[in-house]
Structure 1
Amino acid sequence: NRQQLQQQLDTFLAEQTISGLAVELRPTISLAKICFVFSGQGSQWWAMGRQLYESEPVFTRWIQLIDNEMTKINNGEWRLLEELIEKKNEQESHINDTNIAQPTLFAIQVALTALLVSWNIYPSTIVSHSAGDQAAAFVAGRLTLQEAVRIVYHRSRLQNRNTRQGGRMLAVSMSEEEVKEKLLKGIEHLVCIAVVNSPRSVTLSGDERTIDELQQMLSIFHPNVFKARLRIENAFHSYQMDRFDIEKELLSSLNGIQGLPLKDPKQMFNPKCAEARLYSSVIGGELSNKMPVDAHYWWTNVRQAVRFRDTIASIAQNDNATIFLELSPHPVLATSIRECYESANQQPLILPTLKRKENEQITLLTSLAQLTISPDIWQQYFHTRDISPMIKNEQFFDDFP
């Protein structure tokens, strides 16, 4: 309304910031340099996606579609729609349970991507982090929807076995080399490096008691080092994943998934997205078309460390992405990406799609305003409000309820 517009103009003239105001003084940015970032577990919250579900038909349709596929594979054990849309408060929600968090995160990420693509926003590069790998592989044309949902279901179900079994994770603002030298000598069998996010951000994983002792030691001997236990009662990407037959059952459950680039456009999420270069934090670089995301790849994804720093460094060197758009319920990787680029003396634009407990449409459109001044996107947003530009593969919906 007029009052809001006046307030935003006054804020702009005062060189201040306010929710819903996007100011970008850069030159026009080519759409060919957008990197879609699919973050992992940790960004979820109990009411994520609800406003977009009520207001954006493309987003709604994809959430419903994934709910339908998930219900088929889990035999109605739980409903994705119930967790995402129907829970009345945080106390009722199970969104932080691993077997719920990862599938709902996958659904939100895919639906967000579908919405962006319906507005003519496509990635030239795709990168992901841990549990975000499934959505990335699906969007990049490596998996059918049925395969992606199958992977998400079994990965999260099996990892959940290790919940509350004496494992925790600790984020530390130190380099990988410092952590190995100052923290892990002699206790490598109890705690390991699970994630290397940036040149000065590492996550440790392993025995809960040892994690507690490390946190106390850091407080005493390195008080200026940031450290925080993750709100996850599990030890992902560590030796604890070797327990409870997780490897054996995962390989068996995912047997037959080839994970090579799909040849049939009708099976793809979107053929244009499949043209994007796919970077994997499992290997720390670009995933060639000859490298399959098969059952063994997904076991490596579960068991080995996340090499996000190396992956972003590879993008900086080989792709020169100028915009990173994080597809998640809340931005969790922006700082890591920024720190990775500082060492390369570059400053990409890093944008969220959603933020926890903030208006979802305003957050998304604020980033859209900063993303580009291309009239194609705005014409698509204001004049095409149906799902046909996004999904031409109607056979996806043959068995839609």
Structure 2
Amino acid sequence: MSKVAFVFPGQGSQHVGMGKDIYESYPEIQELYHQANEKLGFDLTEIIFNDENKLNLTEYTQPALVITSYSVFYVLKNKKPELKPDFVAGHSLGEFTALAVAGSIDPIDAVWITNIRGKLMQEAVPEGKGGMAAIIGLSSDEIEKVLKEISGIVEIANYNSYEQTVISGEKESVEKAMEFLKEKGAKKVVPLAVSVPAHSSLLRDKAEEFGKYIDEIEIKDAKIPVISNVTATPIQSAEEIRKELKVHFYSSVKWVQSVEFMINEGVNSFYEIGPKKVLSGLIKRINRSLNIKNVETLDDIEKL
């Protein structure tokens, strides 16, 4: 029998007004937002629905995506109780949503901790010192070989699909790598408009600080196996999850490997739960024969 995975998007999927139809239709979702605002000490609801500038700042983007995706999941679970995942996974930030869905982290704690995560990431590297770039049309093995030749810090941040890999690190080293990778035959090399070199060792010091906040929240064993971004294998015990979140900050996101693992375990239906269709597109590029659905709105849920 074929298996099901729920996957949750990371930064870049946000847009103003996301999840508004669900918020307006469910008093319990309004209460969730109210509790989140109380815990955060600011009005995240206002930012999500009305303030594009703030929504695109990392410290607000991260909790906004977690609460939006979790809210969609909550309604899906109640409207379609027969649809249960065998695995959950999230892309980068999305792993926090996956952990909340799996019952490992309270959703309000997930919102709170990702606001802190965003702040610490922003503080990790001075403005203009870090960079990221998407490399299209070159294998990750080839990219890894090239990066070894570059001085300074430049590393693979995201193994997104067979065709797309993201590199991250010191701005000058990233720029040098972009030149080398073009020469090696990359179809496209696209600098990303980000100020934080996410998932690179430049964030290691801030990850230690983040670990102290992780120790402040309750983490339980997950009720559903969560596919780790760091190892691309299932994690389920509270101890494994706590350890994961302390290194997740600066480790590569092994998305291709995670999707491959789930396919090998018998998953052929993937539901991307949250705004936009970024992960759906990446999963299609990994394997076109899969059943992939994006679930963002009440209408999407009704159509399932």
Same fold (TM > 0.5): yes
- Give the whole-Å Cα distance in 2 for the aligned partners of 1:84 and 1:291: 33
Give unpaired runs (5+ residues) of structure 1: 1-29, 71-75, 263-273, 355-359, 372-401
Deviation at 1:114, TM superposition (A): 0.4
Superposition RMSD on alpha carbons, in Å?
A: 2.5
DSSP 3-state at the match of 2:133: strand
Distance 1:325 1:167, change over 3 A: same
Aligned AA (2:100): F
Q: Would you say 1:186 and 2:142 are equivalent positions?
A: no
Partner of 1:53: 23
How many residues in Structure 1 have an aligned counterpart in Structure 2? 300
Aligned AA (1:302): F
Query: Is the 1:38–1:135 contact (alpha carbons within 8 Å) kept by the matching residues of 2?
Result: yes
TM-score by length of 1: 0.68
Partner of 2:169: 206
Aligned AA (1:339): R
Query: Is the 1:166–1:208 contact (alpha carbons within 8 Å) kept by the matching residues of 2?
Result: yes
Q: Would you say 1:350 and 2:292 are equivalent positions?
A: yes
Query: Is the 1:259–1:292 contact (alpha carbons within 8 Å) kept by the matching residues of 2?
Result: no
Deviation at 1:290, TM superposition (A): 6.6
Q: 1:176 aligns with which of 140, 150, 153?
A: 140
Identity of aligned residues (%): 24
Aligned AA (1:85): F
Larger radius of gyration: 1
Distance 1:246 1:221, change over 3 A: closer
- Give the whole-Å Cα distance in 1 for the aligned partners of 2:298 and 2:147: 44
Q: Deviations over 1:262-313 (max 9, x none)?
A: 7xxxxxxxxxxx3x3321112211114375321x421211011111111111
Q: 1:151 aligns with which of 113, 117, 124?
A: 113
Distance 1:281 1:166, change over 3 A: same
Larger relative strand fraction: 2
- Give the whole-Å Cα distance in 1 for the aligned partners of 2:279 and 2:165: 12
- Give the whole-Å Cα distance in 1 for the aligned partners of 2:26 and 2:218: 33
Query: Is the 1:316–1:341 contact (alpha carbons within 8 Å) kept by the matching residues of 2?
Result: no
Aligned AA (1:123): P
Q: Would you say 1:226 and 2:188 are equivalent positions?
A: yes
1:2-401 map, 5 Å: 33-70=3-40, 76=41, 78-87=42-51, 90=52, 93-119=53-79, 120=81, 121-162=83-124, 164-173=127-136, 174-181=138-145, 183-187=146-150, 189-219=152-182, 222=185, 225-242=187-204, 245-257=205-217, 259-261=219-221, 274=223, 276-289=224-237, 291-294=239-242, 296-318=243-265, 320-341=266-287, 347-354=289-296, 360-362=297-299, 364-365=300-301, 368-369=302-303, 371=304
- Give the whole-Å Cα distance in 1 for the aligned partners of 2:240 and 2:212: 17
Q: Deviations over 1:323-382 (max 9, x none)?
A: 11112211111232123336xxxx11111123xxxxx444x24xx53x4xxxxxxxxxxx
Deviation at 1:113, TM superposition (A): 0.6
Deviation at 1:49, TM superposition (A): 2.0
Distance 1:81 1:142, change over 3 A: same
- Give the whole-Å Cα distance in 1 for the aligned partners of 2:78 and 2:5: 17
Give unpaired runs (5+ residues) of structure 2: none
